[in-house]
Structure 1
Amino acid sequence: MATTPVITEGAVLVPKKDKIQKEVKLTEAQKLEFDFAFTEATKAILLQELDKGLSLYATCLKIDPTSAVVRYELANIYMSQDDFSSALELSRGAVALQPLNIWYQIQLANIYQKKGMMDQACAVYDDLIELHPERKDFYYLQAAIFASVEKFDKAIEVYDRLEKKEGIQEGVSLEKQRLYLAAGNKKMAYAEIQKLIKKHPYRADFYGILADLYLADKEEGKAFDQYEKILKIDPDNGLVHFYLADFYRRKGEIEKSNVSLAKAFGNSEIEADQKIQFLISILMNGDQESMSDEYLKGLLDKLVEIHPGQVRVHALYADFLRKRKDNEGARYHLRKVLEEEKTNYVVWEELLLIDNELLDFESMLKESSEALKYFPDQPLLYIFKGVAAAQKEDYKTAIQTLEEGFSYIGDNVKLRVQFQTYLGDSYYQMGEAKKAFKSYDEVLSFEPQNVIVLNNYSYYLSVRGEELEKAKKMSSLCVDLEAENSTYLDTHGWVLYRLGEFKEAKTILEKALEFGGGESAVIVEHYGDILFRLGDSDKALEEWKKAIEIGEGSEYLAEKVKTGIIPDEIEQNEQ
């Protein structure tokens, strides 16, 4: 196990109180030795060779015990190891030796903060401000320390000193306003914003802040007055319409709110991100109930019109349309996103899901192939491509794709089941029944009640006249799990038919017809075949004629209708 070197007094002497010796005058040889040791120590620390670096810094202190820079560097090392007590003594020593060095002072203030010694940290910033009055950041840092321990009055005093020196400034007044609010002094919080308005009477955002303060105090009339002032200053200011939209919405005046919001969205000077965030907040908080889908769509259309190249606009529009079942519209905007961001996997996946739902397997095949160029290790993309190829009856491509993607599934059982299911179907269509049944067996070893595989497996066995008892067991389980599924009932009935259990098959097929099977030419034809086997040839012929009218029955259906019997080829296959 790796360990962190510990700085000990054997390496560098760090007494509890760093006693500063009188200045040492070095000879030229000592200066050269000190400079070499210091340079090598710095290199070692950069290379993470702490032991070597510490040893060399120790050498430096032996040569010059009054070196402030060595103490500073050692303090940094102690800080990196969270040993702030040792760092503090060294940093105090560095500052005592060179009290005018700004970096030593800043380091000391940081260490005090780390140790929770906030008053001492602020005292250091007092010194820094006195030495460097031009550095406004020191005022902000000192005020932030006071605020962090809720000494709001002290923090405000710091900003008052800066304001006295520099005059009224936006950043200072806004910080003071925030601090006054934190301290519960609302009157002074208002005063700070009013100071800014007096200095910058044409800054609309300050009126907006003042309006927010009034709204927080439930003084809606005064808030509205500020919005009116903004419109007088800048009638085309889009931001004020955001303020007004929110203001009217809070008051329940939805129609006025929607008018203002439409104006804000139509303003090209307002950034797309601000509009998007506003719209997201409405959609996420359920506020869209006060807006019609047509109105929201109008806002999104306006976004696309004014900010056509913004990917987030198209992504938001796609999400909006997807939730409203407009898959064609959502797909259009997802494709727009992918024109700019080819490496956004989530968008590819959503697009392919839509292709699948739209049964657009041409697009699904093309777009999954493109997605795989960017994400060749994402197994789900192989499923999309494999399924699309299979739906287009390109089973060779389907098998190649699914076999390649299978290597990326790892230990994911759900993906394994999906791959083997689709592989089984494709193998069977390619005439590789043995491979297909092996895939199905693997699926059922993980999911014994997978109705899709139970149905397909049992049906294919019945068609081939193989392992019919196994097929019967699987198809029976299938209808137990989904008793009103006409497809599964048909499969079970057909297995019984192949076993010669015609009466039982008739009962099952009648259930299939009851639950919607009457719209399937295959199911109606199967029912006719069963009736024929039971000796009711007239009724069988009626069913076959119905199947012809529905369309897409078996290749022998027309001959059955013409002759009134089951052809010899089928007779031989069923023996």
Structure 2
Amino acid sequence: MCSRVKSIIHRWAIAISIVSIATSTLQARVAPPLPQDAAAAKQEAKDSAAGKRPITPEQRARAYAKLLEGQRYYVGARTGRLTIETLRQAQRAFEEALQLDPTLAEAHTALGELAFFFLDDVETAEREAQAALKIDKDSYGAARLLARVLVLKSGLRENKIDRPIAERAIDALREVVRLNPSDAEGWALLGEIYLALGRQTEAIDAFTHWAAAPPSLDTRFYQIVTGGRELSPDAAAARLGEVLLRAGRTSEAIAAIRRAIALEPSNRDYLALLSRALEAGGGGDAVLIAELQRIVESDPTNIAALDLLARSLAEAMRYDEAIKAYEKILQARGVGQNPVTNEEDKQLVSWILERIASLQRQAGQTNGVMATIERMRRLLGRNDPTADFHYALLLRDQGKRAEALQVLRTARLRNPDQPALIRLEATILGEMGRADEGAALLRARLKGKPEDDFIELLNIANVYLQAGRAKEAIEASRKALDLAPAAQAARNAARQNGRGDQDDDRTDLQTQALLMLSSAQEKAGDFKGSEESLRRILAKDPNNATALNNLGYFLVERGERLEEALEMIKRAVQAEPTNASFLDSLGWAYFKLGRLTEAEKYLSEAARRNPASATIQEHLGDVYHKLGKTDLARAAWRKALTLSIEAAETARIRAKLDGSGGKN
């Protein structure tokens, strides 16, 4: 049996409070040879099963007694009182029950569960479940066991679906929900399998039934095979909404997501999903902001809703209102002018002030940023690195990279191992043409811990990519890609145990590595390799908006398959209508197609949503130039020049400003 499947079952056994026992020891000791009288009884049972000898009432009574005895041992094991001896006794009791009465489906099911939960033996579990169902096709326990075995073997958890096994899993799950139409796990797993097979309509039907089912007490198996998803009623409504949104059934999606939020108003993922749904519905910023304001009015302490409200206001360029939304959180926690001493409050204050400083930087409010930095020092203490980090960001925005570097190095004397300071220093070194120095800082943080090393390798790749060092960026990206499975397993385990960071990027780590690799390959001129990397993402997730956008944009940049590129970018924008990068790609595609009115519309919107992008400003200037709006073109190019950090990009923009035209 695959070691990966073994590890999944082992973690599940631990999750239900079972002590760890070596499988080989159990298998050696649990099933000793049957004594001679038991062997004789087994032969009698075979004869009875073959119709040679009827089962006597006495045999049946003794069989039930053995079944109950085994269940007592088994219940003890499932509640954490497991020893090798009790497990052996449970297994022997069930075997003896079957020797006395081979028609006891419950005994086959119990033996299958022992094999599944405690012996990491899915083949025996499957065989026993099938034996039970052959005796009693309406055995709910056996049907559920068989379904779980097949779901585990289908590759659902690894996103590597084995279609024949997945089809068998569907049949088994349909039996589970036939026998118990209120089985939340059955409907949820059915939906996940359908979704993995691309059968979206059937997935929606299954998730609709799940959302209507009562809560399940046994949630761990679903969590494990789905990488940490919850089986709760709110999760059901949210998952339904997510899939409805993907299917373009926006109004139904919004209704489902609202039900999820009504059950869990502070869930960040649900609020973000609502944001996407409202945007897809064409309501724009105003509709989303109004919805979030209603949520906040009903619960002014809902930090997740306040945060999303502030972000939405910022995207609408209503920066002062966004800052006020964050200030309300501080007021609700009683934060004033005095230093914060409670560690939990410190974390919250640091997070909020960082958000405020970022908004002020976006709005170009330099004085406001400086005031917030001083506020950080006053509330968090002079030794806290948050203020220095944001001061360095401000200096970098102003083009004062050498000064920013000095601020960071001084701060690192007090906080030598602070990751944010190190990563920003590495980034700035790369921007100053000192990429090897920046990469060396990050390499020093590689400690052999998969998830942490994965992050640093992506940062190394990015430093080299921004410096135009595509070969080194590819090398670091490939190393990150190799680490992705182990890093993903560590991240999933942390989330399942409640240790995950709420602000973590929820994107699959292999996808993150492939996105970085494809960008590096594109920069290196390996267009075929870049497209293959993105196609790997789309093979697993055909609706991945970033992969669709990037592939479309790369094709547009090369002037290849422009209509195909346009359709991919449109799909990305449909998924994330306020993403400035996607809007830029769409505008640039229209520009390349000569559709200047559409190009101006989307590039203007991209620039409104992200005024700090040199690429967007350059593209907008190019459109204005083509439209004969010379003054607007030069203004956009000048702004792009102040934002540019790449030498080639800077030279190209200067050429346009000097009147030489440049390459579009």
Same fold (TM over 0.5): no
For the pair shown, which has the larger CA radius of gyration, 1 or 2?
1
If the TM-score is normalised by the length of the shorter chain, which range does it land in? 0.3 to 0.5
TM-score w.r.t. structure 1 length? 0.40
Larger RCO, structure (CA 8 Å, separation 6 or more):
2
